[in-house]
Structure 1
């Protein structure tokens, strides 16, 4: 039976200390590139994998990270997981996903209990949960490492990853007006969420710059689900006169709009233009394909994971990104262009 290589074996072959090997395994930045490459090559050749239990005992870490969310969009969660796993897998961490009910009176206690029960080293918190200052305060009191993803700056730079939704909506408005569209309606997200406000205000203000105001009767609140997109679209499409363009706060609702229009015999894009937000997996696959705003969710999640590991491992150099992540318009068939 072949003896399993140890960290001491790797250190001997590389001619370095065990501590240096440990730093490479843990993703620390204070090892020069040549030494890091040499150690990684030996690790690969020897088929070495750290004993996670011993590693955790030595470092007082669990090597577990969490994602906390209350978001009905399954495509969104999949993208977040993909982004986080891209960063953490090679560094020996595992991922635990924890859904919660943001509207439940005890959701803060529920999230704190999750961190204690699972013994995670830190959590990435997704909107709308990330917008809870009560939860962030509880994390600080309990010394839980966290990074929040959101549409606005809510915390210290090293604890935030932000997407510039407002700027993206200005791009949407400018494009639609340049195409001659002036008759708009909106299916917003739930009120009280920063993403809802950023997208609605960004769109409305940009349209005002073109001399266009959306009547309040043409702004309806959805809950970011496919089903609510259908319900809200039916209400809007029964108005007289009927709106010519509908922006929905996310792709799932926008796809619901296309379904409702199909059921009512309204052709998209000939009689109705539809725009979503997120560019989820289905946006390019439905017929007609959906014009939407591409928010690089996996990239944001990867950035959040890097910031979280920087907090856990004390690698300050990995935690310096301050710029909002750019979202951009993707034009497809639902607004008349292939």
Structure 2
């Protein structure tokens, strides 16, 4: 039973043992509806008995697509990308699908053409688009033109439910800043994310909403912008802490920049949280490993990655329940030791 010389069963062996054509066996493997149920059960039993494993390259050729899920991104937040990967891989485990990661440069004039080439060359079953490139409607249209499934991830719902997973960044930041206000903080600074990111916009709006709702007014002088990296958090934190009156709290738009702000505070000899409270966003691994551990908004990145993969597998033999449900995932405040009431209210 080794027509190919490997000692392993082949599709020709299965066809011979079942007394059917190779095409019929292929239909069973590919879950075609054009089969008699008795024939299907007989062939499936022979496949189990022989231990036959379909050739993925041959299946891809027959179906004119590969069993690949693409993760396409241009994101400076490595922890965020890793979290999405973990979520997707958790769903793909035990299936015939594999993950392929394709970084791009959103500043390049050839970005859309590069993604087109990637999809045409790799022929993935579907792709997950991470922010900020997921916010580009041209990429969604490109996927539709090429017949490639896609899911856009973002800080707001960007597409139809089957093509979108999103978080409630604006409301989550509002709740986090209100927590600071409720503790008695009145001089609160913001380290905003980079221009051009929807997440940065939504989190900035949530901060302003909370400030306007409280017993103080939004102060543009208490806002500095970073690029979601640690070093930018240090620089922005230094600028904010040089202002008067001195801030009693800082909200940073991600954990990396919050870690930078904590570093800047330590440089100035400030006690956190005694002299300065700091809140981040994401709840990446760094948040719990800092000292003091960082109060932060938990971005449900694993759940969003899992949901994106489930949406792409909907309708396949590996489909999982609740594939195209509500695209919105709620972020929650995780309270740790970097926040306390100000010493002087």
Q: Output the TM-score relative to the length of structure 1.
A: 0.85
User: What secondary structure is seen at the aligned counterpart in 1 of 2:297?
Assistant: strand
Give the CA deviation at 1:324.
0.8
User: What secondary structure is seen at the aligned counterpart in 1 of 2:83?
Assistant: helix
**2: CA distance between counterparts of 1:283 and 1:46?**
51
Partner of 1:205: 209
**1: CA distance between counterparts of 2:336 and 2:320?**
41
- Which of 80, 83, 91 matches 2:84? 80
Partner of 2:310: 306
Larger radius of gyration: 2
Partner of 1:263: 267
Structure 1: 5+ residue runs without aligned partners? Answer: 29-34
Kindly tell me: are residues 314 and 158 of structure 1, through their superposed partners in 2, closer, same or farther at Cα, counting changes over 3 Å? farther
1:336 aligns with 2:340: yes
Give the CA deviation at 1:168.
1.1
Q: Deviations over 1:264-301 (max 9, x none)?
A: 22221111111110000111011111110001101101
Partner of 1:31: none
1:297 aligns with 2:304: no
Structure 2: 5+ residue runs without aligned partners? Answer: 19-23, 34-39
Q: Deviations over 1:11-62 (max 9, x none)?
A: 98xxxx96796368x9x9xxxxxx99xx89x96x976543211222333221
- How do residues 1-338 of structure 1 correspond to structure 2 at under 5 angstroms? 3-4=7-8, 8=14, 22=29, 49-310=53-314, 319-336=323-340
**2: CA distance between counterparts of 1:88 and 1:297?**
16
**2: CA distance between counterparts of 1:311 and 1:132?**
26
Asked whether the 8 Å contact 1:276–1:291 carries over to 2, the reply is yes
**2: CA distance between counterparts of 1:298 and 1:46?**
38
Kindly tell me: are residues 296 and 317 of structure 1, through their superposed partners in 2, closer, same or farther at Cα, counting changes over 3 Å? closer
Count of aligned pairs = 320
**2: CA distance between counterparts of 1:329 and 1:256?**
20
Kindly tell me: are residues 142 and 313 of structure 1, through their superposed partners in 2, closer, same or farther at Cα, counting changes over 3 Å? farther
User: What secondary structure is seen at the aligned counterpart in 2 of 1:135?
Assistant: helix
Q: Output the TM-score relative to the length of structure 2.
A: 0.83
Asked whether the 8 Å contact 1:185–1:214 carries over to 2, the reply is no
Give the CA deviation at 1:312.
6.9
Moved over 6 A (4+): 311-317
Kindly tell me: are residues 46 and 165 of structure 1, through their superposed partners in 2, closer, same or farther at Cα, counting changes over 3 Å? farther
**1: CA distance between counterparts of 2:81 and 2:212?**
34
**CA RMSD of the aligned region, Å?**
3.1
User: What secondary structure is seen at the aligned counterpart in 1 of 2:286?
Assistant: coil
User: What secondary structure is seen at the aligned counterpart in 2 of 1:335?
Assistant: coil
User: What secondary structure is seen at the aligned counterpart in 2 of 1:333?
Assistant: coil
Give the CA deviation at 1:114.
1.6
**2: CA distance between counterparts of 1:21 and 1:242?**
70
Give the CA deviation at 1:213.
1.9
**2: CA distance between counterparts of 1:249 and 1:226?**
11
Asked whether the 8 Å contact 1:244–1:273 carries over to 2, the reply is yes
Kindly tell me: are residues 312 and 146 of structure 1, through their superposed partners in 2, closer, same or farther at Cα, counting changes over 3 Å? farther
